[in-house]
């Protein structure tokens, strides 16, 4: 058994938290040989509910769960944290875009960025799930100047997984038959799910589907999936979001498959001409606990136009929260 690691989760009493915590504690995120200490953060009115979740975690008798605590103070919850999953934030309702949450949620990420700067492990891995996730990750990062900027990521793995499922359905294959799919940009309706490098059962995906399906069905379905779920369920996605968060952290920590890559929103280093510093989703490979952008993919005009549109939206979101970016 390895030495225990500390995993902080915000919004622990929320819907995503309720799916996420049990999977972290069972070893789905960091592996069957990695004991974890869970450090939960909630707002004061939700502390009773958090106690209930903790009772249930106890009642699972998870062999890998070796510590469990909750707080309404970020500096307590983030102390020495090796992993921080920033889930606590308001979800959108019907008819809203995720960026409509910017005003309500941005302040949370500035306070929490400062707290992790003060107390988290210097090698912490941070994942922003709360929306608008990319810009919230940027706010946290810029408020944590003593941490490596590359510690901060946002979640587009749910979009990646949604795109895999759509393409598998269309081609009559299984998600495990598909490699090298990419979601570029923002976790929003401008995101660009790109199959131009994807391989399905050893064949180029572009040869298996037609352009009309791609433009009129695949791309809009993936872009609008969150809204479709809110319409159907009356609440935003939760179990699938938790599952994607597990996938994101697991692959970042334990590595991606040899012949594949995943989509992660990370600080742009200017690759593919994307504005430096914004938290933009790229194709990445992970190994040894580090991620690297997959380089030198050919980008045609169709892709470039969509990559630029989602980049532009992230620049606008960044500019709208300048006052929170020291």
- Sequence-ordered list of residues with C-beta below 8 angstroms from that of 228, at least 6 positions apart, any chain: 221
Taken in order 71, 75, 81, 85, is the CA torsion positive or negative?
A: positive
What distance in Å separates the CA atoms of residue 137 and residue 10, rounded to the nearest whole number? Answer: 14
Instruction: Write out the binding residues for ligand NAD, residues 93-152 only, by CB under 6 A.
Output: 108, 129-131, 133
- Sequence-ordered list of residues with C-beta below 8 angstroms from that of 42, at least 6 positions apart, any chain: 10, 11, 12, 13, 49, 50, 70, 72, 88
Binding mask 119-138 for ligand LMR (x = CB under 6 A): ------------x-------
User: What is the chain's length?
Assistant: 326
277 binds ligand NAD (CB under 6 A): no
Binding residues: 11-17, 92, 98, 105, 112, 129-131, 162
98 binds ligand LMR (CB under 6 A): yes
185 binds ligand NAD (CB under 6 A): no
- For residue 193, the partner it binds in ligand NAD, ligand LMR, none, with Cβ less than 5 to 8 A by kind, is none
- CA distances to 13, 51, 121, 143 from 60, rounded to whole Å, are 17, 14, 28, 37
237 binds ligand LMR (CB under 6 A): yes
89 binds ligand NAD (CB under 6 A): yes
5 binds ligand NAD (CB under 6 A): no
- For residue 77, the partner it binds in ligand NAD, ligand LMR, none, with Cβ less than 5 to 8 A by kind, is none
- For residue 229, the partner it binds in ligand LMR, ligand NAD, none, with Cβ less than 5 to 8 A by kind, is ligand LMR
Could you confirm whether 187 is annotated as catalytic? yes
What distance in Å separates the CA atoms of residue 183 and residue 195, rounded to the nearest whole number? Answer: 9
Between residues 14 and 267, which has the closer beta carbon with respect to ligand NAD?
14
Q: Is 61 left (phi over 0), alpha (psi -120 to 50) or beta?
A: left
The footprint of ligand LMR (CB under 6 A) covers: 91-92, 98, 131, 158, 226-227, 229, 236-237, 241
Residues tagged active-site: 187
């Amino acid at each position: 058994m390895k030495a225990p690691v500390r995993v902080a989760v915000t919004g622990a009493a929320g819907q995503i938290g309720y799916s996420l915590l049990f999977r972290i504690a069972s070893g789905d995120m960091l592996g069957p040989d990695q004991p974890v200490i869970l450090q939960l953060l909630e707002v004061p009115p939700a502390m009773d509910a958090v106690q209930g979740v903790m009772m249930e975690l106890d009642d699972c008798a998870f062999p890998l769960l070796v510590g469990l605590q909750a707080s309404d103070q970020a500096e307590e919850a983030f102390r020495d944290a090796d992993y921080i999953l920033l889930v606590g934030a308001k979800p959108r309702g019907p008819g809203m875009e995720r960026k409509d949450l910017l005003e309500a949620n941005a302040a949370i990420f500035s306070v929490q960025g400062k707290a992790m700067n003060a107390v988290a492990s210097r090698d912490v891995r941070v994942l922003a799930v709360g929306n608008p996730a990319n810009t919230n990750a940027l706010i946290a990062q810029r408020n944590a100047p003593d941490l490596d900027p590359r510690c901060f990521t946002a979640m587009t793995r749910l979009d990646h997984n949604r795109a895999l499922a759509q393409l598998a359905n269309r081609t009559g294959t299984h998600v495990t038959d598909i490699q090298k799919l990419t979601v570029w940009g923002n976790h929003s309706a401008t995101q660009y799910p790109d199959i131009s490098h994807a391989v399905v059962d050893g064949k180029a995906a572009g040869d298996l589907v037609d352009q009309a399906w791609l433009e009129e069905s695949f791309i809009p379905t993936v872009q609008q999936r969150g809204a479709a779920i809110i319409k159907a369920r009356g609440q935003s996605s939760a179990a699938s979001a938790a599952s994607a968060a597990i996938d994101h952290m697991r692959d970042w920590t334990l590595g991606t498959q040899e012949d594949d890559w995943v989509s992660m929103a990370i600080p742009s280093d200017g690759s593919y001409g994307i504005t430096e510093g914004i938290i933009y989703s790229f194709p990445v490979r992970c190994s040894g606990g580090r991620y690297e952008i997959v380089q030198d993919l050919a980008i045609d005009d169709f892709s470039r136009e969509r990559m630029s549109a989602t980049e532009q939206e992230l620049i606008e979101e960044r500019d709208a929260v300048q006052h929170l970016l020291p």
